[in-house]
Amino acid sequence: MTVSNTPEVIGPPVAESRPIDWIKTNLMSTWYNTVLTVVLLALVVLFLRFSLTWVIFDANWDPVRSNLKLFLVGQYPDEEMWRIRVNALIVSLFMGVS
């Protein structure tokens, strides 16, 4: 008969929960949490609807298009723009590699 001195390793318990269970537990556990969740969700939907409508249809983007260089680099001299382009290329390369 062989006796092993190493203890048996038991992993953490695996919780099998679905997203709907998380919502019921955390967002709709009581009646007032349910009301608060529904009201805040309605406010977020209204805010997104109105803001996206303004951004897509109502906003006048012509000043942004005509002054894009000014928004991006300010009043940086044109003959020194190569420095900004090289730095943007290096940052893009590092982000792509990482």
**Tens digits of per-residue pLDDT, 33-80?**
999 999 999 999 999 999 999 999 999 999 999 999 999 899 999 999
- Dihedral angle sign, alpha carbons of residues 77, 83, 89, 95: negative
Query: Residue 4's pLDDT is what?
Result: 66
Looking at the structure of the chain, the number of domains it has is 2
Q: What is the extent of the structural domain holding 73?
A: 67-98
Is a pLDDT exceeding 90 seen at residue 8?
no
Query: Residue 3's pLDDT is what?
Result: 63
Query: Among 67, 63, 76, 62, which residue's Cα sits nearest to residue 88?
Result: 76
Give yes or no: residues 71 and 52 share one domain: no
Is a pLDDT exceeding 90 seen at residue 12?
no
Give yes or no: residues 54 and 25 share one domain: yes
